[in-house]
Amino acid sequence: MGLLDKVETKDEDVKKAKPVAKAAKVAKAAKVAKAAPKKAAPAAKKTKKESKPKVKKARPEGLSSEFEIASSLNRVISWWVNFTVNFSILIGALVMSVTTGGASGGFATTLLFAGAGLIFIFNGIVLPIWTGRNLGQYTSSTRYIRGDGSKPLFLHGLFVNNIGVSSLIGFIMVFTQAGKLADGGTPIVLTSIGAILMILWIVNWQFSRNSDLRQGLFDLMFGAYLVRYVSEGGETSGFRARLESMSQFGDKYAQRVEDKKKAKLVSSEEKDDEEKSDSESED
């Protein structure tokens, strides 16, 4: 009996020892898992930051709210008026000199050239210094002002009003003198000056083209803005009052353009309504 009791007790000890050993193995495995370094998770792809849309400023901070930036139509009117005034007589004189060959009508051609020069000096130099505006700006009801409403320095008007003509003179200088660079001296100087005048026009045009407020190079230098401007009755008299009255022509033209745009918009809307009604009736 003693031997049987010993065997039974050994079997019971073995059965009890097995779950204890299993528990010890599980505990060791857990310790090893904790001690082992975790694998780094794959890095998430970097998302590109969405660029915020740029909001264009409607007006500069220093410009009073009583002034309105000149529209594209005002600028077009001003440009065409100045071009007609400055170059119409000059073009006529050039055509006459070419057709007559310089033999007949020489005195009349000379008078035309002199008249064209005087008109250009008056519109491009005298008026901007005297009144701060040229004939094109009077017709289009525009003028250049600084942020506080004051008139820019007279040099601004000289640069802005004559940059187109100066670039044309520069082109002529380059065109006529570039072939004589081998001679040195005067041709090199004239070609260099002409190239600078042409480059200034290009730079000014690029500034104006990429500016929200259509400010050119000289506008930025002098802090000037082209704005809508209509003088009140009785503010000016005499010759200046007559110049101010030229704005009626520009205002009437601008009104006709606006009326045409509205008429086209109304007609397009009517056509759309008719097409919709026809499609609904067919259905």
Note the Cα 170 to chain centre separation in Å.
25
C-alpha distances (whole Å) from 68 to each of 50, 64, 149, 235 are 34, 9, 12, 20
C-alpha distances (whole Å) from 51 to each of 48, 56, 212 are 9, 15, 20
Range from 23-37, 141-155, 162-176 carrying the lowest mean pLDDT: 23-37
- Residues 6+ away with beta carbon under 8 Å from 225: 60, 63, 67, 69, 144, 145, 146, 147, 213, 215, 219
Tokens 């901007």 belong to residue: 128
Q: Is the per-residue pLDDT at 107 higher than 80? A: no
Spatial separation of the C-alpha atoms in residues 122 and 81, rounded to whole Å:
14
172-214 residue pLDDT tens = 889 888 888 887 788 889 889 999 999 999 999 999 888 888 8
Tokens 């009508």 belong to residue: 105
For residue 63, the one-letter residue type is L
What integer pLDDT is reported at residue 46 of this predicted model? Answer: 47
Residue 236 or 146, more confident: 146
Instruction: Pick the closest to residue 81 from 136, 161, 144 (CA basis).
Output: 136
14-62 residue pLDDT tens = 445 445 455 555 555 555 445 444 444 444 444 545 555 555 444 555 5
216-248 residue pLDDT tens = 899 999 989 998 887 665 555 566 677 777 777
Domain boundaries of the chain, sorted by first residue: 69-152+224-254, 160-222
Count the Cβ atoms, other than its own, within 10 Å of residue 154: 13
Spatial separation of the C-alpha atoms in residues 239 and 213, rounded to whole Å:
31
SS (H, E, C) the chain: CHHHHHHHHHHHHHHHHHHHHHHHHHHHHHHHHHHCCCCCCCCCCCCCCCCCCCCCCCCCCCCCCCCEECCHHHHHHHHHHHHHHHHHHHHHHHHHHHHHCCCCCHHHHHHHHHHHHHHHHHHHHHHHHHHCCCHHHHHCCEEEEECCCCCCCHHHHHHHHHHHHHHHHHHHHHHHHHHHHHHCCHHHHHHHHHHHHHHHHHHHHHHHHHCCCCCCHHHHHHCEEEEECCCCCCCCCCHHHHHHHCHHHHHHHHHHHHHHHHHHHHHHHHHHHHHHHHHHHHC
Specify whether the CB–CB gap between 107 and 169 falls below 8 A.
no
Q: Is the per-residue pLDDT at 271 higher than 60? A: yes
Give residue 157's pLDDT band: very low, low, confident or very high (50, 70, 90). Answer: confident
Strand order in the sheet with 142-146: 68-69, 224-228, 142-146
